[in-house]
Chain A
């Protein structure tokens, strides 16, 4: 009988394999896991996968794919082999994230107040003031505790040597944390015995930590604050997550039409009349959140919400206008931002980035489209992206035109070497699929990071795109104490 991992190919040298060293020997922290998987037959694995699939489907753990006439619901693919991070590696990541998020928050506070960093010409003023995510209405507004980015989910990847690099800072409404929690539950159910062999740090307290963070930013004088989650509704791809988090925190899941603003205070409509709302964890983008200030055609938002927020009668998490700092162009300035505010060297490095708005870089990008990854500065979720080596000449030409027409909107990076991790690409076969890591950082009175995060995996042979909308899946992620 064929055993798992007997024929596993740990792949070309330019990729870092999470489980096997370049010589093909297993890394020590994976030893016990491999030993266990080698004992499984294909039937064992199939039976466990079946349990989890039925579980996911009945619970409605699905996401919606856009681009067709109606959204199609799919089960979020879950890979059975967990990703393991030794505590020592994790502690470096934790420090690096703390440093990065602290600096980015100071940056936001600065550009919405005195704009010192622009005056000192560390970051070009036109990049900030011309960004479509810059909310000039918020200059001079003080968010509670001075915090703008209460929930963030930075995407980390590993280069060929295994160094962690930051690929993106998601400072607006990062999603995926519910999958992190569900994955842990699923794996506990499928392989309870393996948990006994490792000291896996728990992540189950995330909803409580999130709720605490939200309560901490309530307007002053509001004891026992009323916290709600604002969702765009059931047609949103992350709706499952919104409802899951609301349920886990025991708060109400609201849509725009559930809330009304009266005299600059926010209320929810109940069967017994109006009730005051103090904190809104909003999963609606800035542009849809208040038709009086942003897109007037929005039917997802709450008219008057922004004024109530400016008056300090309601708190929003995340604050308005944070997108200006996770723009892919501003991204390339983050190392400078860290040095400027904290006087420290960045612990986590960036991926090298060329800005199309810079003439020398633009020339380089246009000459090397076939080997670079080009991204639109303001898009997310794997949309509006050209992966050079996988693209056709026609696609490259189309992108070249778009870049020249609007250079401010594009950046390019080398084809990044996402690390690889053995994963099931079909029922029986293990393949080294590319992965990234999204840890979730909470920022209230203090910064809290749950150990691990969501490992996203590109479940197509050789694919580098891990987004769920593009055929990606996820893995349970363990931080272990040895």
Chain B
């Protein structure tokens, strides 16, 4: 498989997953505000700041908008082209990547990406404001449909594995960020108390975290009604069977990486395999008590850093292989690291006239 094709499959999948996760955060936040309506005014900016923190966009956001409220945050996370992680930007980037490998994916996959893209182009801010849940459900369903189509139309070859790696690395990263931010917020509110409690409004917030991972029902089946923070964290970080937990995502990414390279539990052939194997083992033997005593925030931050490093190693091992060492002049013209490369220089040259 061409390195460029593998890279675009990886990013196509990653951006699609990112769009879905952003839709999940936003959807749950709306519901949460409704749940907490009696306790706090709906426009309490704290609940909106959290969403911006999840996407590491606080500085950028402060430059662009005067305050945190439903409108500005929705605009930034759904529509803004300035924000490379907005749903619109992610879907556009997923589509650009798909377009550059259109002959390698099934036409059904392409049509589905295209359909979502055109749906977003045709959606107004007001429409989202009127029916936020309907809108976010549409995005989530589009992502599920895409994965289902991929599942049923894409051969189980190397390309499939790159799609899986992109999806699960992104998912693990998103869940880690989501937990981290929520934990941070709740600690902050309790000012000084070192331990998060199982008080009722805290529980409502932790339920929101579960919901945004579509994990509430699955959680209840395991822990029944023992909705305490430690069980919730155990489920979201360490559960091996739930497809949106961090541990599950890492196992799935590991499987895919090992299928590509032929690595196994006792023998790795490249650094990406080594790092993912290490992370998988650590998750497999970790306990929630250890994580909490080490400090949840530090633990999650470390995990996010490890995920970045794995991403870099995948890039070096499979995508950057045999790239000419000297970059042409005008590197600043290149687009950010997003899979589709080249930037404006290529854009203007590619316009060469056609007969």
Contact = CB atoms under 8 A, between A and B. Distances in A.
Best-buried of A57, A232, A271 by chain B (most CB within 10 Å):
A271
B346 A239 contact: no
A171 to B, nearest CB: 8
A322 to B, nearest CB: 11
B271 interface: no
B353 A381 contact: yes
Interface stretch (B12-20, B95-103, B179-187, B212-220): B95-103
A270 B2 contact: yes
Interface string A263-275: 0000011111110
Best-buried of A60, A153, A244, A255 by chain B (most CB within 10 Å):
A60
Nearest to A303: B324
B40 interface: no
Contacts of B114: 57-60
B346 to A, nearest CB: 5
Interface string B255-277: 00000100000000000000000
B355 A174 contact: yes
A300 interface: yes
B321 to A, nearest CB: 6
Interface in B53-80: none
A243 B103 contact: yes
Best-buried of A71, A175, A255 by chain B (most CB within 10 Å):
A255
Nearest to A323: B355
Contacts of B353: 285, 379-381, 383
A380 B107 contact: no
Given A57-B114, A247-B103, A381-B355, A271 B1 contact: yes
A101 interface: no
B208 interface: no
Interface in A245-282: 246-247, 252-255, 257-258, 260, 268-274
Nearest to A58: B111
Interface in A161-212: 170, 172-175
Nearest to A242: B103
B200 interface: no
B351 interface: yes
Interface string B169-206: 00000000000000000000000000000000000000
Contacts of B110: 59-60
Interface in A352-405: 379-381, 383
Nearest to B348: A235
Contacts of A172: 355
B293 interface: no
Contact of A235 (B3, B318, B346): B346
Interface residues of A, number: 52
Contacts of B318: 271
Given A233-B100, A260-B322, A300-B349, A269 B3 contact: yes
B283 to A, nearest CB: 27
Contacts of B124: none
Given A59-B107, A232-B349, A285-B352, A269 B4 contact: yes
A232 B350 CA distance: 5
B3 A258 contact: yes
A236 interface: yes
Nearest to A235: B350
A257 B341 contact: yes
A78 interface: no
A298 interface: yes
A326 B6 CA distance: 39
B348 to A, nearest CB: 8
A236 B352 contact: yes
A238 interface: yes
A237 interface: yes
7 contacts: A60-B99, A237-B354, A243-B102, A254-B2, A269-B323, A303-B324, A380-B354
Interface of A: 57-60, 66, 71, 153, 170, 172-175, 232-240, 243-244, 246-247, 252-255, 257-258, 260, 268-274, 284-285, 287-288, 298-300, 303, 326, 379-381, 383
